[in-house]
Structure 1
Amino acid sequence: MTADNMSQQSTNRNDRYERGLQILAQVEQTQGPSVLDYVAEFSPDLARLTAELGYTDVYGRSGLTYEQRQILTIAALGAMGTAPSQLRFHIRGALNVGCTPEQIIETFIHLTIYSGFPAALNALSAAREVFTERGIRPSLEEHRTEPSERFETGSRLVAEVDGSAGDSVIKSLQDISPDLGRMIVEYSFGDVYSRPNLSLWERELVTVAACGAMGTCTPQLRVHTHGFLNVGGTREQLIEVAIQLAVYAGFPAALNTLEVFRGVLEQHENAG
């Protein structure tokens, strides 16, 4: 290798790192030291890899906006429940790139369905800390489906989002726990999916991100991958979700998620 080639490689590496720092700055928007400055004090290589992979290679991609990437990131981190500091960082980042406090709260309400109430409550506690430090007072307006309309509303949204796949899940419970099937319709869809502040597309983005990150609910991930496409999601967006998950849930989770996406996309293409 010539000296010129070595110099060009060094320049490319520096450009990639600097580009990552520029993207991180848009998410971070801090007047003080960057979070990567603290990482670099102990592991400069990890700081560099985070900037290059996490921000240049992943956040720098087209296909999803920064707002959408932050929503899916806090959904994944909230669902996993294993990285509270990073969750708080990305709640701040979500606010910085244009997400509203109400969208963030709604993301965590949505997680009650897929990762449970403890994970959602912990994520909401992290949001409370961030909102308090910034003096943010989110809307406390209540949204409630009338008790007499929960099943009808839920059934309509099951059909709109998940189609026949959702109906099959409910029917499969009739011989063992019809009550659970009713709760899925009334709570998950009648109470939660019907709420404002997230569109159905955003709700399915949160759902596939959470299910993919947890890695414990492949059948449900498959159903909601269909759902994501049913409400206007695209093949390209699904691939971006999997790539984003590689940073926050790890490459095995991303690969498993992508394999589910592959199967569903093939079904949709063959059906078309």
Structure 2
Amino acid sequence: MKTFLKEILYVTIVIVAVNVNAQSGAVQNLSNKEQAIISIAAVTAKGDLEKLKTELNAGLDSGLTVNQIKEVLVHLYAYCGFPRSIRGLQTFMTVLEQRKTKGINDVVGIEASPIKVGVSKYDRGKAILAELTGTSQDGPKKGYSAFSPEIDVFLKEHLFADIFERDILTYAERELTTISVLSSIGGVEPMLQSHLNICLNVGLTPNQLQQFIGVIKSKIDEKEGEVAQKVLNEVLKTKK
């Protein structure tokens, strides 16, 4: 009888373990923090500062640190310009002051680690871009990089070294920020397509990107969401 009960218990444990494993490997969803990053970046890019106050409060309440949100707002200037970024930072300052008067002490969070020296910024940026895209950056320059070599230098030295190398945000979080801006401003579908591919390379799943579309539709507009959906559909077709 004892042996029989032990066998039943063993089978039950195995079934539970299998179910837990199946669930953990099933569908990955965007976390509340990731959804907050999307909303903050998208609304800032649109310049809707009143709505941004709401999203900033929600982001802090979701567990994002002050430094993580600052990093999102700084990161997006590379894709929608200093004016939107600075206005976003100024709005964030106001929100933090308002929360402080209510007795809310938000977590500041970690600072960026010191940047390694000894390797040129261009080479560091090139290595990071290769990691993001999964393709070598050692070939001859093509397209706009050949037409304007200076912008290739700026992109690799500043965007992919100075900005992406800062470890306050993960690559996945930076890419969520990027595609949120690109979806919101519109008219840059080729860049959006490239960065959606990068999203998949850095570990975001198709389901998470579908959720991203949902956030854009609800926080920005159905029109921008539909355009982004078409681009995502094309990207996912190539992955089948």
TM-score range normalised by the length of the shorter chain: 0.7 to 0.9
- How many residue pairs are counted as aligned between the two chains? 207
Asked if the contact 2:112/2:168 (under 8 Å) is kept, the reply is: no
- Quote the Cα distance in structure 1 between the aligned partners of 2:172 and 2:36: 15
| Letter of the structure 1 residue corresponding to residue 64 of structure 2 | C
Distance 1:266 1:97 in 2: 33
Distance 1:212 1:172 in 2: 23
- 1:75 paired with 2:75, answer no
Q: Aligned-pair distance for 1:167?
A: 7.8
Larger radius of gyration: 2
Residue matched to 1:112 = 77
Letter matched to residue 185 of structure 1: K
Structure 1: 5+ residue runs without aligned partners? 1-61
Unaligned runs of 5+ in 2: 1-27, 101-105
Q: Structure 1 pair 167/108, CA: closer, same or farther in 2 (3 Å)?
A: farther
Q: Which amino acid aligns with 1:85?
A: E
- Residues in 1 aligned to 2:46 and 2:136: alpha-carbon distance in whole angstroms: 25
Q: Secondary structure in 2 aligned to 1:108? A: helix
The structure with more helix, counted as a fraction of residues: 1
Q: Tell me how far apart the structure 2 counterparts of residues 168 and 76 of structure 1 sit (CA, whole Å).
A: 34
Q: CA shift at 1:164, angstroms?
A: 3.5
- The correspondence for 1:134, drawn from 65, 88, 99, is 99
Could you state the TM-score of these two structures normalised by the residue count of structure 1? Answer: 0.70
Alignment of 1:179-190 (within 5 A): 179-190=150-161
Matching of residue 98 in structure 1 with residue 63 in structure 2: yes
Structure-2 residue corresponding to 1:175: 146
Q: Distance in 2 between matches of 1:169 and 1:200?
A: 26
Q: 1:155 aligns with which of 116, 126, 130?
A: 126
Residue equivalent to 2:201: 230
Report how far residue 175 of structure 1 moved.
3.3
Deviates more, 1:132-141 or 1:203-212: 132-141
Whichever residue aligns with residue 223 of structure 2, its letter is: P
After superposition, the C-alpha distances for 1:194-231 in whole angstroms (9 at most, x for unaligned) are 10211001111111111111112111100000000000
Could you say what the CA RMSD is over the residues aligned between the two structures, in angstroms?
Answer: 2.4
Deviation at 1:242, TM superposition (A): 0.6
Change (3 A) 1:261 1:78: same
